[in-house]
Amino acid sequence: MQRSVFRHEESYPIAVLVNEGTASAAELVAAALQDPDHLFAPPSAPPTWWLRSEDRNLRIRWAGSFVGERRAALTSVGALRDDDALVAEAIRTFRARAGEEGVDLEDATDSILSLYLLPDVARLRWGLAESVELEAALDPAVARAARILRDAGTPTGS
Protein backbone atom coordinates (compact mmCIF):
# COMPACT_ATOMS: atom_id res chain seq x y z
CA MET A 1 0.00 0.00 0.00
CA GLN A 2 1.35 3.40 -0.95
CA ARG A 3 1.27 6.06 1.79
CA SER A 4 1.36 9.09 -0.47
CA VAL A 5 0.86 10.17 -4.04
CA PHE A 6 3.94 12.39 -3.78
CA ARG A 7 7.40 11.15 -4.68
CA HIS A 8 9.01 12.67 -1.64
CA GLU A 9 7.14 12.86 1.61
CA GLU A 10 8.39 14.82 4.62
CA SER A 11 7.81 13.27 8.00
CA TYR A 12 7.10 15.40 11.06
CA PRO A 13 6.21 14.27 14.58
CA ILE A 14 2.72 15.16 15.75
CA ALA A 15 1.59 15.75 19.32
CA VAL A 16 -2.11 16.04 20.11
CA LEU A 17 -2.68 17.48 23.56
CA VAL A 18 -6.02 16.39 24.99
CA ASN A 19 -7.35 17.70 28.28
CA GLU A 20 -10.50 19.03 29.90
CA GLY A 21 -10.44 22.03 27.55
CA THR A 22 -10.44 20.17 24.25
CA ALA A 23 -13.51 19.21 22.28
CA SER A 24 -14.22 15.71 21.04
CA ALA A 25 -12.46 16.44 17.74
CA ALA A 26 -9.08 16.36 19.50
CA GLU A 27 -9.86 12.97 21.00
CA LEU A 28 -10.90 11.70 17.56
CA VAL A 29 -7.65 12.95 16.00
CA ALA A 30 -5.64 11.35 18.80
CA ALA A 31 -7.48 8.05 18.30
CA ALA A 32 -6.99 8.16 14.53
CA LEU A 33 -3.27 8.71 14.92
CA GLN A 34 -2.73 5.82 17.30
CA ASP A 35 0.28 4.09 15.85
CA PRO A 36 2.66 2.61 18.43
CA ASP A 37 5.68 3.71 16.40
CA HIS A 38 4.60 7.32 16.03
CA LEU A 39 2.22 8.35 18.81
CA PHE A 40 2.92 9.09 22.43
CA ALA A 41 -0.25 8.89 24.47
CA PRO A 42 -0.27 10.02 28.11
CA PRO A 43 -0.88 7.12 30.48
CA SER A 44 -4.23 8.35 31.76
CA ALA A 45 -7.10 10.62 30.85
CA PRO A 46 -8.37 13.32 33.21
CA PRO A 47 -10.70 12.04 35.93
CA THR A 48 -14.36 12.05 34.87
CA TRP A 49 -15.35 14.56 37.56
CA TRP A 50 -12.85 16.99 36.05
CA LEU A 51 -14.54 16.92 32.65
CA ARG A 52 -18.10 17.71 33.72
CA SER A 53 -19.09 21.26 32.78
CA GLU A 54 -20.55 22.10 36.18
CA ASP A 55 -17.23 21.10 37.77
CA ARG A 56 -15.34 23.32 35.31
CA ASN A 57 -17.48 26.23 36.50
CA LEU A 58 -16.57 25.32 40.09
CA ARG A 59 -12.87 25.36 39.12
CA ILE A 60 -13.19 28.79 37.53
CA ARG A 61 -15.00 30.24 40.56
CA TRP A 62 -12.53 28.63 42.97
CA ALA A 63 -9.43 29.70 41.01
CA GLY A 64 -10.69 33.29 40.76
CA SER A 65 -11.19 33.57 44.50
CA PHE A 66 -7.93 31.74 45.29
CA VAL A 67 -5.89 34.06 43.05
CA GLY A 68 -7.72 37.14 44.31
CA GLU A 69 -7.14 36.33 47.98
CA ARG A 70 -3.50 35.23 47.57
CA ARG A 71 -2.17 37.54 44.84
CA ALA A 72 0.73 38.68 47.03
CA ALA A 73 1.86 35.08 47.66
CA LEU A 74 1.59 34.18 43.97
CA THR A 75 4.79 35.86 42.85
CA SER A 76 5.82 33.39 40.12
CA VAL A 77 5.05 30.01 38.61
CA GLY A 78 8.06 28.60 40.45
CA ALA A 79 6.80 29.95 43.76
CA LEU A 80 3.43 28.33 43.18
CA ARG A 81 4.99 25.02 42.16
CA ASP A 82 7.57 24.90 44.97
CA ASP A 83 5.62 26.28 47.94
CA ASP A 84 4.24 23.14 49.59
CA ALA A 85 2.09 25.17 51.99
CA LEU A 86 0.50 27.11 49.13
CA VAL A 87 -0.16 23.89 47.17
CA ALA A 88 -1.71 22.28 50.27
CA GLU A 89 -3.87 25.36 50.81
CA ALA A 90 -5.03 25.23 47.19
CA ILE A 91 -6.06 21.59 47.56
CA ARG A 92 -7.73 22.16 50.93
CA THR A 93 -9.73 25.18 49.76
CA PHE A 94 -10.78 23.44 46.52
CA ARG A 95 -11.97 20.37 48.43
CA ALA A 96 -13.94 22.63 50.79
CA ARG A 97 -15.50 24.59 47.90
CA ALA A 98 -16.39 21.36 46.07
CA GLY A 99 -18.02 19.99 49.21
CA GLU A 100 -20.04 23.20 49.68
CA GLU A 101 -21.30 22.92 46.11
CA GLY A 102 -22.07 19.21 46.39
CA VAL A 103 -19.42 18.07 43.89
CA ASP A 104 -18.22 14.53 44.48
CA LEU A 105 -14.47 14.41 43.84
CA GLU A 106 -14.67 10.63 43.74
CA ASP A 107 -11.22 9.24 44.46
CA ALA A 108 -9.25 12.41 43.70
CA THR A 109 -5.85 12.24 45.35
CA ASP A 110 -3.93 15.36 46.34
CA SER A 111 -1.40 14.72 43.57
CA ILE A 112 -4.15 14.52 40.93
CA LEU A 113 -5.79 17.66 42.28
CA SER A 114 -2.52 19.60 42.19
CA LEU A 115 -1.89 18.43 38.62
CA TYR A 116 -5.17 20.00 37.50
CA LEU A 117 -5.65 22.91 39.94
CA LEU A 118 -2.26 24.61 39.81
CA PRO A 119 -2.34 25.24 36.04
CA ASP A 120 -5.78 26.85 36.48
CA VAL A 121 -4.28 29.20 39.06
CA ALA A 122 -1.28 29.94 36.81
CA ARG A 123 -3.54 30.60 33.81
CA LEU A 124 -5.56 33.16 35.74
CA ARG A 125 -2.59 34.80 37.45
CA TRP A 126 0.05 34.87 34.68
CA GLY A 127 -1.51 33.62 31.44
CA LEU A 128 -1.47 30.61 29.16
CA ALA A 129 2.28 30.32 28.52
CA GLU A 130 3.07 30.16 32.24
CA SER A 131 0.25 27.69 32.75
CA VAL A 132 1.71 25.35 30.12
CA GLU A 133 5.17 25.78 31.67
CA LEU A 134 3.73 24.70 35.02
CA GLU A 135 1.87 21.76 33.46
CA ALA A 136 5.12 20.57 31.89
CA ALA A 137 6.88 20.85 35.26
CA LEU A 138 4.13 18.84 36.98
CA ASP A 139 3.33 16.22 34.34
CA PRO A 140 6.01 14.19 32.51
CA ALA A 141 3.59 13.49 29.65
CA VAL A 142 3.11 17.20 28.98
CA ALA A 143 6.87 17.79 29.29
CA ARG A 144 7.55 15.07 26.72
CA ALA A 145 4.94 16.44 24.30
CA ALA A 146 6.47 19.93 24.65
CA ARG A 147 9.95 18.52 23.92
CA ILE A 148 8.65 16.70 20.85
CA LEU A 149 7.06 19.88 19.52
CA ARG A 150 10.14 21.98 20.30
CA ASP A 151 12.52 19.46 18.72
CA ALA A 152 10.32 19.13 15.63
CA GLY A 153 10.53 22.85 14.97
CA THR A 154 8.33 24.48 12.39
CA PRO A 155 8.11 22.78 9.00
CA THR A 156 9.35 24.99 6.17
CA GLY A 157 8.86 24.90 2.46
CA SER A 158 5.78 24.33 0.34
Q: Per-residue pLDDT tens for 7-28?
A: 556 666 667 776 666 655 566 5
For the beta carbon of residue 45, count every other beta carbon within 10 angstroms: 13
Q: What is the pLDDT of residues 53-71, one digit of tens each?
A: 566 788 888 999 999 999 9
39-48: long-range pairs with CB below 8 Å, 24+: 39/14, 40/15, 40/141, 40/144, 40/145, 40/148, 42/18, 42/139, 42/141, 42/142, 42/145, 43/141, 45/18, 46/19, 46/20, 46/116, 47/106, 47/107, 47/108, 47/112, 48/106
Question: Are the CB atoms for 48 and 106 separated by under 8 Å?
Answer: yes
Task: Report domain extents, the chain.
Answer: 1-42+140-158, 48-138
Indicate the average pLDDT of the chain. 75
Please report, for residues 40, 73, 103, 157, the alpha-carbon distance to residue 22 in angstroms, rounded to integers and kept in the order given: 17, 30, 22, 29
Question: Quick one: pLDDT at residue 28?
Answer: 54
Which pTM does this prediction carry?
0.63
Q: What is the pLDDT of residues 97-127, one digit of tens each?
A: 988 888 878 778 888 888 888 988 998 999 8
